[in-house]
């Protein structure tokens, strides 16, 4: 992950609350197995509306998304983060994020910063009055600035540290492998494993089911 300290760019005012991840990227786009190339799916359904703010040429090139409360609620799809990044967004500001979206953003290097509603509304006014306004999101000082105006942002300490340093989460955890191994040695024996016990061996569970056959319970469970 690249280090993120501060970013300056124009902003897109998205005057909507409760933007769920199905809106950020509809399920149809989730069939792809790549980690990039999702820009075309961003707000795919809303983009049909010519008046949708993402279609306004004056906001072309915006890299800071300023959204209403409860942004990114719903489905866990990290594709929502990837779509925003692929489209060119570096940061999303909202008074409140869906839990999983927020975690996904932090892992992928998209800044999801909490900014209170009055400040969000102010940013909407500022950027609607002048779409060319440069907005700075400063992760070092936890401040968002637009001209002479500024407001505080909130990002949890751990995510902030990782983003500032550009650290890979998995690498950090693998540094504690001895702790993990020690923990594993003390797990109770009654905890389940996904390998089947002998009476449910693979040849007994691998029976194929077809769409049209008539089946008897005996045939299935034998």
Partner 1 sequence: MHSSTPRILAEKVWDEHVVSRAEGKPDLLYIDLHLVHEVTSPQAFEGLRLSGRTVRRPDLTLATEDHNVPTTDVDQPIADPVSLAQINALRANCAEFGVRLHPLGDVEQGIVHVVGPQLGLTQPGMTIVCGDSHTSTHGAFGALAFGIGTSEVEHVLATQTLPQVKPKNVAVTITGQLPTGVTAKDLVLTLIAQETTSGGQGYIVEYRGQAIESLSMEARMTICNMSIEWGAKAGLIAPDDTTFRYLRGRPHAPAGVDWDRAVEYWRTLVTDDEATFDKEVVIDATTVTPLVTWGTNPGQGMALGGNVPSPDDFRTEAEQAAAKRALHYMGLTAGTPMREITVDAVFVGSCTNGRIEDLRAAADILRGRKIADSVRMLVVPGSVRVRLQAEDEGLDIVFKDAGAEWRGAGCSMCLGMNPDQLAPGERCASTSNRNFEGRQGEGGRTHLVSPLVAAATAVTGHLTAPSDLPAWV
Whichever of 10 and 113 has its CB closer to partner 1, that residue is 113
SS3 94: strand
Q: In what order do the strands lie in the sheet with 134-138?
A: 111-114, 91-94, 64-67, 6-14, 134-138, 143-146, 149-152
Work out how close the CB of 208 gets to partner 1 at its nearest, in angstroms, rounded to a whole number. Answer: 4
Query: Parallel, antiparallel, or unpaired: how do β-strands 64-67 and 6-14 relate?
Result: parallel
Q: Report the C-alpha gap between 88 and 83 in whole angstroms.
A: 9
Whichever of 77 and 90 has its CB closer to partner 1, that residue is 77
Work out how close the CB of 16 gets to partner 1 at its nearest, in angstroms, rounded to a whole number. Answer: 8
Work out how close the CB of 27 gets to partner 1 at its nearest, in angstroms, rounded to a whole number. Answer: 4
Residue 120 · residue 71 · CB < 8 Å = no
Whichever of 8 and 176 has its CB closer to partner 1, that residue is 176
Could you say which DSSP state residue 196 is in?
A: P
Q: Report the C-alpha gap between 136 and 70 in whole angstroms.
A: 22
Whichever of 148 and 205 has its CB closer to partner 1, that residue is 205
Work out how close the CB of 132 gets to partner 1 at its nearest, in angstroms, rounded to a whole number. Answer: 26
b (16+ CB within 10 A) / e for 103-137: bbbbbebbbbbbbeeebbebbbebbeeebeeebbb
Whichever of 59 and 101 has its CB closer to partner 1, that residue is 101
Work out how close the CB of 99 gets to partner 1 at its nearest, in angstroms, rounded to a whole number. Answer: 5
Whichever of 10 and 98 has its CB closer to partner 1, that residue is 98
Work out how close the CB of 125 gets to partner 1 at its nearest, in angstroms, rounded to a whole number. Answer: 14
The two three-digit tokens of residue 72, written as one number: 């990114």
Q: In sequence order, what are the beta bridge partners of 16?
A: none
Closest CA to 160 of 135, 137, 140, 136: 140
């Amino acid at each position: 992950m690249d280090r993120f300290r501060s970013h300056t760019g124009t902003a897109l005012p998205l005057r909507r609350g409760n933007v769920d991840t199905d809106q950020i990227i509809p399920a149809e786009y989730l069939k792809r197995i790549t980690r990039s190339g999702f820009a075309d799916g961003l707000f795919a359904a809303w983009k049909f509306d010519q008046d949708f703010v993402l279609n306004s040429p004056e906001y072309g090139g915006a890299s800071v998304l300023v959204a209403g409360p409860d942004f990114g609620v719903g489905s866990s799809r990290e594709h929502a983060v990837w779509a925003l990044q692929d489209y060119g967004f570096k940061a999303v500001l909202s008074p409140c994020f869906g839990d999983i979206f927020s975690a996904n953003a932090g892992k992928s290097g998209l800044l999801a910063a909490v900014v209170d509603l009055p400040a969000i509304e102010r940013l909407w006014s500022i950027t609607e009055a002048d779409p060319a306004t440069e907005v700075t999101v400063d992760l070092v000082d936890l401040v968002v600035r637009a001209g002479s105006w500024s407001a505080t942002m909130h990002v949890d300490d751990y995510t902030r540290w990782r983003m500032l340093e550009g650290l890979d989460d998995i690498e950090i955890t693998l540094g504690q492998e001895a702790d993990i191994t020690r923990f594993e040695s003390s797990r109770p024996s009654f905890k389940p494993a996904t390998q089947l016990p002998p009476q449910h061996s693979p040849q007994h569970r691998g029976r194929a089911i077809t769409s049209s056959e008539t089946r008897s319970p005996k045939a299935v469970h034998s």
